[in-house]
């Protein structure tokens, strides 16, 4: 018997409800659904990125404002510290002068007391 060269008749997949698949195994409906989901996800990611960029921009502005405020406060602190150190130095000098004057007065008072004790006529 000879070999028969007959192909089996192929059923039309559209008539049977079977859709043809692409190279990745997706039907057109599956491919469209997957594509739609990916587009939606992409759009959501773009929106999230835009929001994140806004948050980062706000944070950068706040950081810059804080840096400027810190510099201002540091300068103010330095000026106040210098003023207090200057006042402190002046008070120490004044205290030293008062101490010297007290010693001079006590010394002269002691001399005065010695004069009184040594001279009964006074």
pTM over 0.85: no
Distance CA 60, CA 53 (A): 10
For 97-118, the pLDDT digits (tens) are: 999 988 887 776 666 665 566 6
> What is the mean pLDDT of the segment spanning 94-99?
94
pLDDT at residue 119, rounded to an integer: 63
Give SS3 for 89.
helix
User: Which of the four pLDDT bands, split at 50, 70 and 90, describes residue 11?
Assistant: very low
Burial class (CB in 10 A: 0-12, 13-18, 19+), 26: middle
Q: Taking 80 as the threshold, does the pLDDT of residue 9 lie above it?
A: no
Distance CA 13, CA 28 (A): 13
User: Which of the four pLDDT bands, split at 50, 70 and 90, describes residue 15?
Assistant: very low
What is the token pair recorded at 96? 């030293």
Map out the domains of the chain as residue ranges: 27-118
Q: Give 5's contacts (C-beta < 8 A, 6+ positions apart).
A: none
């Amino acid at each position: 018997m000879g070999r028969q060269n007959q192909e089996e008749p192929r059923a039309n997949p559209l008539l049977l409800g079977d859709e043809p698949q692409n190279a990745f195994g997706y039907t057109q409906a599956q491919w469209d659904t997957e594509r739609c989901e990916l587009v939606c996800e992409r759009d959501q990611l773009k929106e999230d990125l835009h929001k994140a960029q806004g948050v980062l921009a706000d944070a950068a502005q706040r950081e810059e404002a804080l840096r400027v405020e810190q510099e201002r406060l540091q300068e103010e602190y330095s000026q106040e510290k210098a003023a207090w150190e200057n006042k402190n130095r002046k008070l120490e000098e004044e205290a030293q002068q008062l101490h010297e004057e007290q010693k001079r007065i006590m010394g002269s008072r002691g001399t005065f007391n010695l004069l009184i004790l040594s001279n009964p006529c006074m």
